[in-house]
Amino acid sequence: MRLPACVFVTRAEVLRGAAAAARTALRGLEELRRANSALPWLASTGGPAAANSKGLTRGVVKLGWSWEAKYVWFWRGEAQLARYLADAMGLPGCTAEGCIVQEWVDFDFELRLFFLPARGWTPASAPLRPTHHEYTAWRNVEGEDAPGKFLKPTEAEALRWFGGDEAALASAHAQAVAASQPLIAELLTKHPEAVPMIRMDWMVKRRRAGEAQVVFGEYCEMGACCLKWEEGPPQIWRAALDFALC
């Protein structure tokens, strides 16, 4: 499923003591990283980020159901993680039961896949192919502790950011589509009825000639932004109507 190491820290843990909550979160992340270190896609790099190849020093704190990277903080080290845990749980009006702590992921841009499963489709029937894809990127300012400018690169720009490596970009697409299958199947174990549209966001990075790293970012539900896909909204809403009428 190409998941980054990630743990959930409860509000109660943070309110009892943010420093202790940060230490517990780091231990949990390190245990996951050790357990997964032999996976082929991680074995050669020591993890999805160069900064953590010799030990966990960098990651993110985020609230679930965030929108366009709102309420996402970058942490470096235990003390900063503790501060951002306290900040997240101390937001005015925040009723979240906790927040997510994740290891850092290096990526050149995001690959967003749009799946429109036919009515009656199941994971056992056939692999689900994306109807459309888009690319997005964040250009962060050095020293800032939150995502920066949001970009929507074209196909040509994405290829240029991959150094013109068509094989690596094709590999990123193939890996993302393949890893989407068990993730969508897992989603359907929580709610067995398929939905008209699922968007899957993947963080992709060119590692070397012909090779790309692909790491899962998030599920996006019906109604997620279609970005530059002008035909997307009418196509998706027609699919929603078909599901409603069948």
Tell me, what CATH number does 119's domain have?
Answer: 3.30.470
If asked whether residues 95 and 208 sit together in one domain, one would say no
d(CA 92, CA 51): 33
Q: What share of the chain has pLDDT > 90, as a percent?
A: 72
pLDDT tens digits, residue range 156-188?
999 999 999 999 999 999 999 999 999 999 999
Q: What's the pLDDT score for residue 119? A: 85
d(CA 1, CA 177): 10
If asked whether residues 146 and 98 sit together in one domain, one would say no
Q: What's the pLDDT score for residue 191? A: 86
d(CA 58, CA 25): 12
Domain range for 19 is 6-103
Q: What's the pLDDT score for residue 43? A: 64
Domain closes at, from 103, 128, 159: 103
* CA 184-186-187 angle, 5° bins: 65
Q: What is the DSSP string of 28-74?
A: HHHHHHHHTTTSHHHHTTTSS-GGGTTS--EEEEE-TT-STTTTEEE
Q: How many structural domains are present in the chain?
A: 2
pTM of the model: 0.91
If asked whether residues 113 and 197 sit together in one domain, one would say yes
Q: What's the pLDDT score for residue 14? A: 97
Domain closes at, from 103, 125, 145: 103
pLDDT tens digits, residue range 200-211?
999 999 999 999
Q: 110, 135 in Cβ contact below 8 A?
A: yes
If asked whether residues 72 and 115 sit together in one domain, one would say no
d(CA 89, CA 95): 8
Q: 138, 150 in Cβ contact below 8 A?
A: yes
If asked whether residues 35 and 143 sit together in one domain, one would say no
pLDDT tens digits, residue range 15-60?
999 999 999 999 999 999 998 888 877 766 778 999 998 889 999 9
Element (H, E) at 220: strand 211-220
Q: What's the pLDDT score for residue 88? A: 96
Strand, coil or helix: what is 218?
A: strand
Task: Please tell me which residue, 119 or 165, carries the higher pLDDT value.
Answer: 165
If asked whether residues 99 and 115 sit together in one domain, one would say no
Strands (DSSP E) contained in 77-197 are 98-103, 109-115, 132-139, 149-151
Q: In the structure encoding, which two tokens stand for residue 71, read together?
A: 């309420």
